Chain A
């Protein structure tokens, strides 16, 4: 399977715990995006990378959130001191570095904070 893969698919955690999600994009894709989606809503942009450089972060991304993409390959999204409001689907997507082209999404990580 050469699509975008995300791990884990589901994560249940207690409030205050830290969680980390991983995304493996399509290998030749330079751009990698993180989105968050809550029930009944469309995905909301969190951040994106071009290769290893994090080029933009949304205001939604509080200080508790950090994302990395070492060596321009896989990416991790960490949430520290989780809150119930962090419960959502976290989606990763990748695209070729042509700008404004279609995104290929992973299946997402569903986070539930108890």
Chain B
């Protein structure tokens, strides 16, 4: 079964706008990661946030983590056509090493 759930399932925005997607998970975690997947390709790691961190930035990406609500958000600022992809959150539960993925958010950036 999948640990996380992303919201929304799909998002369509204009180039230059910001894109925000959310992830909720069920059990306590060691860390939460976000991955991007272009159509028909493998996943690429974007950012990892540990359970004792609340916010993290990487380039145009901003991730927040609220362990009390078991939720995370990914913000992509100033989106580009190349950001068109599916975005997945993945969690590592306590006492476990494997990542569990959500169903993903499909982002379409219109030129």
Q: Are chains A and B native binding partners rather than an unrelated pairing?
A: yes
Q: A102-B33, A103-B45 are in contact. Are A44 and B97 (CB under 8 A)?
A: no
Query: A59's closest neighbor in chain B, by CB?
Result: B1
User: Is residue B85 within 8 Å, beta carbon to beta carbon, of the partner chain?
Assistant: no
Is the beta-carbon distance between B42 and A45 smaller than 8 angstroms? no
Report if A13 contacts B (CB, 8 A). no
The interface residues of chain B, by DSSP majority, are classed as strand
Q: Which of B41-64 touch A at CB < 8 Å?
A: 41-45, 48
Complex-state Cα separation, A35 to B100, whole angstroms:
10
CB–CB B88/A42 < 8 A = yes
- Judged by a CB distance under 8 angstroms, whether B92 is at the interface is yes
**Complexed CA–CA distance, A48 and B98 (Å):** 8
Among A31, A43, A89, A110, max chain B CB count under 10 A is at A43
A33–B43 Cα distance when bound, in Å, is 13
| Contact indicator A33/B45 (Cβ below 8 Å) | no
Contacts of B42 in A (CB 8 A): 4, 6, 91, 93, 105-108
**Is the C-beta of B103 less than 8 angstroms from some C-beta in chain A?**
yes
